Structure 1
Amino acid sequence: MAAYTPVEAIELASRTGAKKGYMRPEAVFLSAISAGCLLSFASASFLIITTSPQLQEDAPGLLKMLGALIFPFGLVIITITGADLCTASFMYTTLAVLHRRLSLPRMLLHWVLTFWGNLAGALIVVILIFGAGGVFAKDPYRSHVAEFATGKQVTPEFHQVFLRGVGCNWLVALGLYLSLFSRDVVGKVVGLWWPVFAFVLCGMDHVVANMFFMPMALWIGETPGLTLGLYIWKGIVPALIGNIVGGSVFVAGYYWFVYLRNGQDDGSGVLVDGVGYQGTSSKRVGTDTSC
């Protein structure tokens, strides 16, 4: 069989959430730093490829499509290497809690560690690589960073950032779920790539990607109205809440309700659902956290 079924894939997602929830806190934090760094490289690549005043005027949709095609490599590398994004944790660990494989305190601890680790990783890249390195020091890149931050952060209202955050992590978490259908790396890449492509193309708000975009604009200092306080209140807060809702409710909650709510975890980690599927045998996640 070339791919897992939807029930098997969501079972794997549940085991992944439990595995992540039982990781050592210092390992989670270091893994999250790595994820923040990797996504920052993807965010920087997006800014560079979308820097074209002529195309911004004549073909803005085409320019967004080019950026959306390149950005997913960051999520792919993070997923393949096992690094920890808080936005992925919102889906994986919520699912494990709903499936009674992980406690609520462990889930919340994982969220806190991944969020701050992602922020640390993003700031490391902003300051040491792109800031001190002067990658965006000259026009047209410098002005494009400021223009992008204005449209992404200064202009939108709080509720708009929140709703775009919901849509963003709905698609990101869906991509993570689809990647689990495949038994090989190529299939995982394809499953992840296109939902991430869609969220970037539609201009949704990913709280970790914004950890690069907004600090980079603050470093350059040419974005009217953008301050640290504005970024925290109208950037981090609504995007974070929206990402939590998108990943935990629209993906983890929905697919748990559809595929796992009427199932049964018999204590061995073997899932038997209401339609007779029996998952692959494993020890109970939490004592043996292999996926």
Structure 2
Amino acid sequence: MADPAMANLAGLGAYTPAEAIELVSRAGVKKGNMRPDKIFVSAISAGCLLSFAAAASLRATTAPWFQENAPGLVSMVAGLIFPLGLVMIVLTGADLFTGSNMVRISAYTAVAAFHGRLSLRKMLLHWFLCFWGNLAGALFVMAIIIGYGGVFDGASYKARAIEFVTSKQVKPAFHQIFLRAVGCNWLVCLACYLGLQGKDLNSKIVAMWWPIFTFVSLGLDHVVANMFYVPLGLWLGTPHLTVGLYIWKGLIPAGLGNILGGALFCGVYYYWMFIFREPEINIDGVYYQGKMEEGTLPTQSSQESSSRRHLKDVTVDNSRVSSQELKREFHGLP
């Protein structure tokens, strides 16, 4: 018997949670099978776009009186601005490491791997290329556009950046950054997941905006955003901040925490809830047309995989296929 709540979502022109995680899996297959050079360049683009949003939120919250007397308001303003970064990344199809951990972002590829549609090797390669591509893009924007461009040369802007980076990187302990990173990517991947439920552009943007607003307002740690913030702090001469400190107490705990938060609390959870040992899910009447890959994570029995393959034999008239192809292409699906 169909869940009335799910039926209501379909009636409102949105994909159900089960359909959304199926979309995540299909997008992960496409992302994971991209050419390595394209993944890397796409990741550079994502690092650049997120850095622009990070710089904008930092500069817009340079208000000494409010920083001292109304820090919550400053956090709220930053939270309202920063989501623009993820929106630009998702709508342009760029590859963000923290999204790839669930699937599109790297979270997408994790779900595809658990689903048996993407090999573990391809998933890890996608994560690796996304991480270094994001770092390259963030460093480019930080140094060439922001640094040499003198965007934070003003005394107030420089002081704000140094204070922010000190509170973000120098003061917290290793375990605090790790735990903040878990919560951060839980929300980032949730934003991507909710965005996939929308069928029109406005719905996607609104759905993605608020989970990102939440993580920024809470001051949680995003490893790619910190690829801009912390090097900017080094550029501006933040006291007690070194490259070694950033690697040990920045990249490592934030990266590991982001992977855990995105892959486990979003990717694995929604996969287990809506895909594992459940009937095959169709998207607008179209079942998954790909094949299972060797070397995938052992999450299903071969009997289940075989029964799922039989469900793909669906007859659809040519006019319907054409319209569905357009929808699938919009979502970046194979």
Relative to structure 1, is the Cα distance of residues 135 and 278 closer, same or farther in structure 2, using a 3 angstrom cutoff? closer
- CA–CA separation in structure 1 for the residues paired with 2:292 and 2:84: 31
Residue 290 of structure 1, CA deviation: 2.8
**Alignment partners' CA distance in 1, 2:251 and 2:288:** 39
Alignment-mate amino acid for residue 200 of structure 1: V
Query: What is the distance in 2 between the residues matched to 1:16 and 1:286?
Result: 15
Letter in 1 for 2:180: R
Is the aligned partner of 1:12 residue 2:23?
A: yes
Match of 2:224 in 1: 208
Question: Secondary structure of the equivalent of 1:8?
Answer: helix
Match of 2:172 in 1: 156
Q: Does 1:142 pair with 2:185?
A: no
8 Å contact from structure 1 (residues 87, 244) kept in 2: yes
CA spacing shift, 1:78–1:228, aligned 2, 3 Å? same
> Quick one: distance in 2 between partners of 1:285 and 1:279?
18
For 1:283, the equivalent position in structure 2 comes to 289
Equivalent residue in structure 1 for 2:241, among 226, 233, 258: 226
**Partner SS state of residue 155, structure 2:** coil
8 Å CA contact retained: 2:99, 2:192 = yes
TM-score by length of 2: 0.81
Asked if the contact 2:23–2:333 (Cα under 8 Å) also holds between the matched residues in 1, the reply is: no
Aligned-pair identity in percent equals 56
Q: Name the SS for the 2:153 alignment partner.
A: coil
Q: 2:263 aligns with which of 248, 254, 258?
A: 248
Count of aligned positions: 281
Say which SS state the counterpart of residue 114 (structure 1) adopts: helix
How far is the alpha carbon of 1:195 from its aligned partner?
0.2
- Runs of at least 5 residues in structure 1 that lack an aligned partner in the other structure: 266-270
- 2:276 aligned residue (255, 261, 265): 261
C-alpha contact (below 8 Å) 2:36/2:129 kept by paired residues:
yes
Structure 1 vs Structure 2 CA RMSD: 1.7
Unaligned runs of 5+ in 2: 1-10, 103-107, 294-327
Relative to structure 1, the CA distance from residue 278 to residue 258 in structure 2 (aligned partners, 3 Å threshold; closer, same or farther) is farther
Contact conserved, 2:186 with 2:265, CA < 8 A, in 1?
yes
Residue of structure 2 aligned with 1:85, choices 90, 96, 99: 96
Q: Check whether the contact 1:4–1:183 (CA below 8 A) recurs between aligned residues.
A: yes
Q: Deviations over 1:100-157 (max 9, x none)?
A: 0000000000000000000000011011100100100121001111111110000000
Letter in 2 for 1:186: N
Q: What is the 5 A alignment of 1:113-128? A: 113-128=129-144
The residue type equivalent to 1:262 in the other structure is R
Residue pairs, 1:15-26, within 5 angstroms: 15-26=26-37
1:280, CA displacement in angstroms? 2.7
Runs of 4+ in 1 over 4 A off after TM superposition: 285-289
How far apart are the structure 1 equivalents of 2:92 and 2:333? Answer: 15
C-alpha displacement of 1:49 = 1.2
Distance in 2 between residues matched to 1:264 and 1:94, nearest whole Å: 20
